[in-house]
Amino acid sequence: MTTREVLEKMPKIVRWKIDDLRKDYKNEALNKYEVRAQIYGYTNGLRDAGLINESERKTLFVYATI
């Protein structure tokens, strides 16, 4: 599944949160390790809630950290 397909199947609020985390990760003023941990936790929560599977979690994690 492509990144676009994974994002399109998510509710708007989830897409907004992923985009906010992505912006935070790129922000030089913030600690990348802390934001990366937040992204990891958020994507794991989505997987645990059954919204995505493990491969989709990895796709979202890479999307948010690149």
Q: What is the pLDDT of residues 11-54, one digit of tens each?
A: 999 999 999 999 999 999 999 999 999 999 999 999 999 999 99
Amino acid 26: pLDDT: 95
> What per-residue confidence (pLDDT) applies to 1?
79
Looking at residue 40, its pLDDT comes to: 97
SS3 readout for 5-28: HHHHHCCHHHHHHHHHHHHHHHCC
d(CA 23, CA 36): 11
pTM of the entire structure? 0.92
C-alpha distances in angstroms, 47 versus 12, 30, 40?
Answer: 17, 26, 11
Residue 8 has pLDDT above 90, yes or no: yes
Q: Residue 25: what pLDDT?
A: 96
